[in-house]
Amino acid sequence: VSVSDLQLLNTEELESALRSIPGWRLIDGQICKSLECSDFAEAFSLMCRIAMFAEKLDHHPEWSNVYNKIHIKLSTHDAGGITRKDIQLAGLIDALRVNS
Ligand code: H2B
């Protein structure tokens, strides 16, 4: 992790970063996405895989799960906003989802 990974993105950086992670939306200072899986087992399995990556990155999602749906919110609490780490984690989540 470089220092710049944990620096708040400015509006311009954030707009361009958001274009690299389609489907993620900025809501109340967090980047958010809802995922729908076929059933609870698939959703929870995906959450387990995301959790392993989050732990390795030392960057953790705020999330909730209802049956087959997962709602994810990302921000960097230590920095008080969105940093490259959130964009990285969002990209990883999308990659895990595609490969699941
Ligand atoms: N996750 C998120 N989303 N934001 C953080 O600022 C953060 C984290 N900080 N996971 C990490 C843990 C920090 O508290 C530890 C001590 O590295």
Each residue's pLDDT, cut to its tens digit, for the chain (100 residues) gives 677 898 999 999 999 999 999 999 999 999 999 999 999 999 999 999 999 999 999 999 999 999 999 999 999 999 999 999 999 999 999 999 976 6
Q: Return all residues near 3 (Cβ < 8 A) that are at least 6 apart.
A: none
Ligand 1 pocket check for 78: Cβ under 6 Å? yes
Please report the atom of ligand 1 found closest to the CA of residue 78.
Answer: 6
Among 53, 77, 87, which is best to mutate for testing ligand 1, by the most ligand atoms less than 8 A from CB?
77
Q: What is the pLDDT of residue 100?
A: 64
Give the span between the Cα atoms of 48 and 21, in whole angstroms. Answer: 21
Give pLDDT, residue 98: 78
